[in-house]
Each structure stands twice: as structure tokens, then as C-alpha cells.
Amino acid sequence: MSSFSLTILGSSGALPAIGRFPASQYLTIQNRHFLIDCGEGSQMQMAKFQVSLHKIDHIFISHLHGDHYLGLMPLLFSMHLHKRSSDLHLYSPRGLDEIITLQLKHSKSVLNYKIIFHPFNPSKIQLLFEDDALTVETVPLIHKLECAGFLFREKLKPRRINKEKLFEGLKIQQIASLKTGADIFDEQGNLLYKNEDFTLPPRPSFSYAYCSDTAWNEAMITQLRNVDLLYHEATFMNDDRDKAVETKHSTTREAAEMAKRSSAKKLIIGHFSARYKDLNLLLNEAKGVFENTELAIEGVTFVLNES
């Protein structure tokens, strides 16, 4: 059983490669649906892998290099043509609101729905989203353009009713109170039912960190500590480390070292340079440092299991 899954829509670097689209991912957490980055062709990938654009209410853009947001306008227009009416929240560094507003202005377009922009400062850790189930905060990165990753973290889940301990005469409102973690008292304040006698421990809470374009960034190790699933760009192999330094990207070994030093449970590497045809070479190099590494292959869904 799981309510936490990540589907890879795009895994290429700045240049698309045969079979690889620019960066985009679809994340679901407890029936909440998030799009992370939106490179060119993202909506085509969503159709191919049966990801519903109607469910997405929050889109997170790491930075304003084209390979991370140029698929956004086509997606916004498709949502419009599908008669979307609910608000859409866009989180990005400052400037995306101007880009979108200008395109709508010159195409004389008025969307059926409202876009709510949430600009953030990529250089600071900032809480972007919070509800009763999870939080989303920025992860400051080091790149040629201001850039931030995103850390999705589930809150502590409620205790679960142990059905084997229920008995006839226990009222529905009492069961509801037990679900919230409360003990049950009578009108005089006497303890009737202790919560732990009727409930099971909560299901595990998970976390996911999306680290977009970045050079080696030791400062984020503490923030990523013990993350369950870590996506970290690995644009270049170690032999091309000079190119990584020049472009402020990471190598496979640097991505793996980040997973190792932050005690991540699993690492996914992506944002591959188009120069590499055989991605297993990158995978093997990363595994040499951090064994539990997988490739960001488009269409693959990574699931964090609750049981």
C-alpha cells in the first residue's frame, strides 16, 4: 500500500536526446498531485504515461533556464481548452509571472482559471506549501542562474484504529476521537478508553528531495539528512568533471556522494547530457559510491511503500 509515488516525465539535460525529454516529474502524496519542472514536451509525456493534467493544482519550477519551464505555456493552454476552472498555483523564482503574463497579453488570451503566482528567493530555505499532510520547502542550489530544489516532507500520520479491539457499544464519535489520537473520557472526566489500547502506530511518513541543476553544494547536506528518496542531477560522468565545473552542474560521483553524506535511503540520478548514449555507464559510476542508485528513466514510477 502506498500514497507516495514519483513518475519521471523528462530526464535529459539542456539538449533533448533521442528518447529523452527535458526535466519534468509528477509527484503524488496522499491524493495531492504536484508537477515539478515542466520542460518542453511535458504535456505529451503526461499523455503518454497517463498522467492526468486535471489533477495538478501545484507546479514547482526550479529555475528559469528553458529546459525546465518551456513546456509550461502549452500545458497552461491545454488546461484552458479542457475547461479548467479551479485555481492553479505556480511556485518559481521571480520572473515567471512576467513571462506568462506577457505571452497571454500578446496572444490576447484570457484563461478560464486563475493562476496564483508564488515567487520565492532561491538563495534561502523557504516554506512554500503546507497543509495537514505535508510541507514543501526550497533547497538552495548553486547554478549559473538562481536555482532551488524542493523538499517534500510528510507530517506525522494519525494512529490507526485496531479493528480487532473494537467492540459493540463503542460509539461512532468515540471511534472518531480515537482516530485523532485522543483518549476517551466520560462526562465526569473519568478515563474510559486509552487511545493506545485501541489503535496501531501511524504508517511511516516519507520525504522526497528534488535537487535540480547544481554544482556540488555541501551546504544542503544537513537539510537533506535521512531523506527517503533523493533526486540529484548527474549531468556528467567523472571524466567530464571540468565541464561540470564550467557549467555549474554535478557529476555522477558528486550526486552519489551527496546521497551518501546525507544518509539518503535511495538516489535517483538524471538531467543527463545528450553526449551519453549508454546511461548504464553513469549508473555504474554512481553505484560505485552509493549502491542504492537508479536512473531517472522516463515513464518509470518510484513508489514508497507504507507496509
Catalytic residues: 67
**Cα gap 38→249, rounded to integer Å:** 19
Nearest to 268 by CA among 209, 205, 207: 209
Cell reading at 258 = 551527496
| CA–CA dist 298, 245 (Å, integer) | 27
Using the Cα atoms of residue 243, residue 249, residue 250 and residue 251 in order, give the sign of their dihedral.
negative
- Distance of alpha carbon 120 from the chain centroid: 17
Query: If DSSP codes are grouped into helix, strand and coil, which group holds residue 247?
Result: helix
* Residues 259, 293: Cα–Cα separation, whole Å: 9
d(CA 133, CA 172): 24
Among all chains, which residue has been given the C-alpha cell 476521537? 177
